[in-house]
Chain A
């Protein structure tokens, strides 16, 4: 209880509140511009958070994530183009509202449902934290290492490509973090005796290369687009609000679906909004209305995707396994500010963890306020040609990454990784698994070697502890799950 009070005190500083507002606003803008989204927005802003204190940096990044998840629904509703994949299901009914002259009603539903989703998710996370703490205290260095491997395994199973491709991506990410001076010995590794490489490859450069440069190359290939129709924005905000309030059960259920799916590494809001939409249609008394302008459909999609924001924070903070690509960037932010995900986040840093969860509540209130006021103005962003943004994003990426360490290796890294990342995405090699490996590589190596050095050099420590055995078995099951599924199908 005292940690919640501490967390509230931390958040009630003017400085922190301003950064939450900045984060939410930036997020809504990033989310509203098709092709940009939360991950890219967070990746670009990440270098600038170096000059902030830890809490301000985290609330800004979480604010961007939360705001962008909502912001994607603006274009989904007004021009039938989801600003982010998390809002894809919102187009099914949201755009119909616009065509029927009820755009404001849909925007109000979106704002209230998103806010409700964020608030409910935050409350559940706070309630669940004490139970999680007891579980996390069982983790020692062998388990911390095995969680990284399990995280890669879980991401590989849910990703589009083969399980092996996911593993290769993740382990490749682990591998390249060994460049530079060794973790447990002063050996210089794989640097070609080039001094700037002694500090290794910056994971920030890897993040920006993957999520900014690769994405801009992909966007370039797809071609920039602009909205040609000027959507008519009419309707009643109050009616929209009343729809969500009267469907409180649906809102809560969809949020919980979003929360649960968000906690699965690699799944993300692009999955949860479809699940929640399908489930609400199945349970609805008026399933025929879905796709024809159903308030229930829109409520389900919008509350689920913002519930996912909270859900994806959980594995990120508790285990260092990102629940989504956006939380992969957030994980990078944690490491950059010297914060290690894991049991300490629920023990000595519990107040900081609660502060991050409570940010979702403050952010949701802001989304509610902004969604009912300025969101109609934000609709203008749908007319921005993404081709105009690409050079600016490239400039921010280059200058931003150079600003962190003044190291030209980082700048070349974003280009090289950007090109490799483009092909990895094209051929379904899990980028999120790669990021997990790249961000957690040094920690994974340290835990691995420490387990061997302090416990037993022959590695038996990994098979003598019950929790370690469970994690190893789970990893093996993930790897062979396609084989088992095939046998079952036959």
Chain B
């Protein structure tokens, strides 16, 4: 029997559960040498998460009566609060079908690069770069791209001057100034 058949969950859900279990195991392990006031709560919560994740993974093999607590129940009411994410689509100008890589993956990568770049060279410089990159990748109209880039630059400057944030500093710039 292959791994896929043993567990009825989707692959990425299993990864999510493994992440939870990994973190929980780490918390339990690292708290073993702490004083009880510091270790009790993390151990109890991490233990619960660990056991809960295992129950979900082996859900298919649980007795029928227990299976109901690990099985998705659908909406108790007609819709839940998270229907905000399930809104019906409007007339869509959707180019997703023609792309091999999902837009959500691209945006996630762009966000990650934005944050790393900001950490390295400062958010003041990384912010307009992120917006330009986003506009180019998603082929936004030029006029819109310019407005968005200028807006993002103004927002950064606003944070810099009104809130006195160190947005011009990044790890790379700090290293260069030490030299």
Tell me whether A483 and B84 are in contact in the complex, defined as CB-CB below 8 angstroms, given that A402-B165, A449-B37 are known contacts. Answer: no
Cβ of A419 and Cβ of B108 under 8 Å apart?
yes
Of A39, A175, A225, A420, which is within 8 A of B45 by CB?
A: A175
What are the residues of chain A within 8 A of B151 when measuring CB–CB? Answer: 392
Cβ of A425 and Cβ of B37 under 8 Å apart?
no
Contact with A along B1-36 (1 / 0, CB 8 A): 000000000101100100110011011001100110
Range, interface on chain A:
35 or more
What are the residues of chain A within 8 A of B130 when measuring CB–CB? Answer: 391, 394-395
Taken together as a complex, chains A and B put the C-alpha atoms of A480 and B19 apart, in Å, by 26
Which residue from chain B places its CB closest to the CB of A161 in the assembled complex?
B72
Taken together as a complex, chains A and B put the C-alpha atoms of A105 and B2 apart, in Å, by 61
State the interface size on chain B (CB cutoff 8 A): 90
23 A–B contacts, CB within 8 A, in A order? A171-B45, A171-B48, A175-B45, A175-B49, A176-B23, A182-B34, A184-B38, A190-B31, A223-B103, A268-B81, A270-B79, A271-B80, A271-B81, A275-B78, A387-B138, A392-B151, A395-B127, A398-B114, A406-B166, A415-B111, A422-B108, A427-B13, A487-B65
Of B65, B80, B135, which is within 8 A of A268 by CB?
A: B80
Of B42, B74, B86, which is within 8 A of A85 by CB?
A: B86
Give the B-binding residues of A (Cβ under 8 A): 34-35, 37, 39, 51, 79, 81-82, 84-85, 88, 157-165, 167-168, 171-172, 174-176, 178, 182-185, 187, 189-190, 213, 215-218, 220-229, 261, 266-271, 274-275, 324-325, 385, 387-388, 390-392, 394-396, 398-399, 402-403, 406, 408, 411-412, 415, 418-420, 422-429, 431-432, 445, 448-449, 452-453, 479-480, 482-483, 485-487
Cβ of B84 and Cβ of A85 under 8 Å apart?
yes
Tell me whether A266 and B90 are in contact in the complex, defined as CB-CB below 8 angstroms, given that A163-B73, A399-B155 are known contacts. Answer: no
What are the residues of chain A within 8 A of B83 when measuring CB–CB? Answer: 85, 88, 270
Cβ of A406 and Cβ of B68 under 8 Å apart?
no
Most buried by B among A162, A271, A395, A479: A395
Of B52, B87, B93, B108, which is within 8 A of A226 by CB?
A: B93
Cβ of A81 and Cβ of B87 under 8 Å apart?
yes
Taken together as a complex, chains A and B put the C-alpha atoms of A368 and B103 apart, in Å, by 39
Tell me whether A220 and B152 are in contact in the complex, defined as CB-CB below 8 angstroms, given that A189-B34, A408-B119 are known contacts. Answer: no
Cβ of B87 and Cβ of A325 under 8 Å apart?
no
Cβ of A418 and Cβ of B111 under 8 Å apart?
yes
What are the residues of chain B within 8 A of A432 when measuring CB–CB? Answer: 81-82
Contact with A along B76-99 (1 / 0, CB 8 A): 111111111111111111111000
What are the residues of chain A within 8 A of B78 when measuring CB–CB? Answer: 271, 274-275
Of A187, A395, A419, A445, which is within 8 A of B155 by CB?
A: A395
Tell me whether A225 and B92 are in contact in the complex, defined as CB-CB below 8 angstroms, given that A81-B87, A182-B37, A483-B69 are known contacts. Answer: yes
Taken together as a complex, chains A and B put the C-alpha atoms of A184 and B42 apart, in Å, by 13
Taken together as a complex, chains A and B put the C-alpha atoms of A37 and B87 apart, in Å, by 11
Of A165, A171, A222, A411, which is within 8 A of B118 by CB?
A: A411
Of B20, B31, B65, B123, which is within 8 A of A168 by CB?
A: B20
Taken together as a complex, chains A and B put the C-alpha atoms of A220 and B88 apart, in Å, by 14
Cβ of B77 and Cβ of A158 under 8 Å apart?
yes
Of B88, B94, B134, B140, which is within 8 A of A223 by CB?
A: B94
Cβ of B85 and Cβ of A175 under 8 Å apart?
no
Q: Identify whether the interface residues of A are mostly helix, strand, loop, or mixed.
A: helix
B141 to chain A, nearest CB (A): 9
Cβ of B80 and Cβ of A159 under 8 Å apart?
yes
Cβ of A168 and Cβ of B56 under 8 Å apart?
yes
Cβ of B107 and Cβ of A224 under 8 Å apart?
no
Contact with A along B135-149 (1 / 0, CB 8 A): 100101000100010
A262 to chain B, nearest CB (A): 11
What are the residues of chain B within 8 A of A406 when measuring CB–CB? Answer: 165-166
Q: Does B104 contact A (CB under 8 A)?
A: yes
8 closest Cβ pairs, A-B complex: A268-B81, A187-B38, A85-B83, A225-B90, A223-B94, A221-B104, A482-B68, A175-B45
